[in-house]
Each structure stands twice: as C-alpha cells, then as structure tokens.
Amino acid sequence: MAVALDQLARPVRDLRISVTDRCNFRCVYCMPKEVFGKQFEFLRREQLLTFEEIERLTRTFAGMGVEKLRITGGEPLVRRGVDELIARLAAVPGIRDVTLTTNGSLLARMARKLADAGLNRVTVSLDSLDDETFRAMNDVDFPVADVLDGIDAALAAGLTPVKVNMVVKRGTNDDGILEMAERFRGTGVILRFIEYMDVGATNGWHLDEVVPSAEVVSAIDDRWPLEPVEPGYRGEVASRYRYRDGGGEIGLISSVTQPFCHDCTRARLSAEGKLYTCLFASRGHDLRAMLRSDLSDADLDEQLRGLWRARDDRYSELRTQGTPLDLPKVEMSHIGG
C-alpha cells in the first residue's frame, strides 16, 4: 500500500508505543514526586490498550509505511507480559526493527526473555555514573550498579547495539559527561547525550539549564578526538560522531539548539490509545474509541492516513525561530519521549 505523507511530505516510518503511564522512578525532569506522588491517579487497566488493539494498530501503521517500533512508557517493563506483546509485534509484516527504551531497573532479569521474544535492540536511560547524583535524579534511591548490570545483560542477550541515553542538565549532572564517555568507550555501547527539553509542564524547564550539544562535543573532542558520521537514514534524530582512535561512537540529540522537525517521521501512541503527531503536542487523537467501535480495518486505515496527511507539526523549529509558543503540552512520561 502507498506510504502516507504529511503536509511537509514527511513519511511515517517510526511508531513509538507507550504501553503504560506508570514508572518505578520519579526522575526530576520527567515525573517529579511533587506531581506524580502517592495520590496521583494513573490509568486503570481497562483504559489501557490491550495487546490485541496495539497489534491491530501496528498492522495498520505498517501498511502506511511504518518499519520501526519503539516500546516505551512510563517504564515499559512494568507492564505485565510485555515480552508477549513484543512477540506479536515482531511478527507483523513490514516491521523490521523492534526496540525498547527502559530505565534499566528490571533489565538484568528480563533481557534474555525480551531477546527471545524478538526484541532487536534496547536503549537504557542513565543520567550519571555518580551514585549520589543518579539516586538524586531518579529520586527513588536506585543505584547505578543495578542499571549497569542491566546493560551488561542486554549485551549478553544480543540486544545490540545497546544505546545509553544521558539527559544533560546544567548544574545537575553536566560534570559527569567525560566520565560517561570514558565508561562506554570501547564497549560497543553507543552513548547519546540529550539536551534537556521543555516537554510537558511539570519539569520546571529553563533554557539556562540546557547544555548545548556543541558544548558536549567540544568537551569530549578535547579529550578524545572525534569526527562526524553521516546519518544512517532519513529522520535519524541523533547527530553521530566517532572516536578517531576507533573507540566507538556517540550521538547527540539536540531538539533545543538544532531542531530536526523537517525530517521527523515519528508517530506516538499513548498507553490509552491517543495518537500524538509531535513530542510537543497539546492534544492527541483518540484511537481507542475507533478500535472499540465497529470500524473495519479498511476504515481504520483511512482514518489514520487522514490524521497523518493533516500533520504539519514543527514545534522545535518554531521555538528556535523565536515564535511565541505558549501552548499546553502532553507530559513526556505519558507518550514515552
């Protein structure tokens, strides 16, 4: 079937699927305790998309051109039976790559099961190697060592290349950039530095807390010389650099200082079935209602194509151009970043 194109001629190639809005961390830049405390009402089980519903949507999106899936949350590994879902999705015709983003807390005991189910790769969020800093950032006193064990388990299970994402926040963990680079050089792990983003409304974002990617590259290049690497495919969000001495590569995700909206090929599905066509969207489209109606597969395909064809999102580019954008935004924890 024909690939769907949006208003800026961008195809839909990547579908990010949030399987839960729950997480066992309370990272200060994502799910701060003062908002997501004991009284916070998370989605009830019947509000979540079932695995059958997620599979049906995936088949429809695959017919529109989606080739890559990323399972997210919240923390996706807290969703019971997520390996069963991965097995279902990996078998969908047209899907070539099934990946998962996790905080790593449950990865050591689940990596092999995920690989056996058909997961291709894994990305682990790790913001510092300093135990005190990391415990403070995840705000549940979780140790670095257990996340590193999860990374080792993923490597052993063949979920490669393993990627590690570090959100860099000035004054919080930016003093650990070189330590992170040194730890993962030569290991086959791809370390990616993410600019602290203004996603949602609860993380207290300020521009002066953003460490520009250019600053990160400069710091690492001074220690271990780098050279740029060409993008691997259209819409690749990370700018890539490799160590000149053969120590591997790093990535930079620079949505604040170097927006990549013009090539964004991502759709995002929240845990309760809302489709978001931008990470910074203010509202989603209710696909759960469609799925739980008597809509045929052909009609579902037509509806999803219409939503994608209408897409004209380019929030980050407009922000960088200085366009006033005082809009409500969905929380990153709700649509998986």
Give tens-digit pLDDT for 15-56: 999 999 999 999 887 888 999 998 999 999 999 999 999 999
Give domain status of residue 205, yes or no.
yes
Give domain status of residue 130, yes or no.
yes
Distances (CA, A) of 268 to 20, 36, 153, 165: 13, 22, 28, 19
pLDDT, residue 107, reads 98
Give domain status of residue 136, yes or no.
yes
Give domain status of residue 159, yes or no.
yes
Write out pLDDT tens, residues 308-337: 999 998 866 676 555 555 555 566 566 765
For the chain, the distance separating the N- and C-terminal CA atoms, rounded to the nearest angstrom, is 29
Read out DSSP for 168-179? EBTTTTGGGHHH
pLDDT, residue 29, reads 79
**Residues 108, 153: contact at Cβ < 8 Å?**
yes
Range of the domain at 215: 14-335
Output the pTM of the full model: 0.91
Q: How far apart are CA 19 and CA 73, in angstroms?
A: 6
Give domain status of residue 6, yes or no.
no
Ranges of residues in the chain whose predicted pLDDT is under 70:
198-205, 235, 259-260, 315-317, 319-334, 336-337
* Total domain count, the chain: 1
pLDDT, residue 146, reads 97
Give domain status of residue 245, yes or no.
yes
E-only strand ranges, the chain: 14-18, 68-72, 97-102, 121-125, 163-168, 190-195, 226-229, 239-243, 249-253, 266-269, 274-276, 285-286
pLDDT, residue 125, reads 95
Give domain status of residue 171, yes or no.
yes
Give domain status of residue 117, yes or no.
yes
**Residues 118, 92: contact at Cβ < 8 Å?**
no
CATH number at residue 206: 3.20.20.70
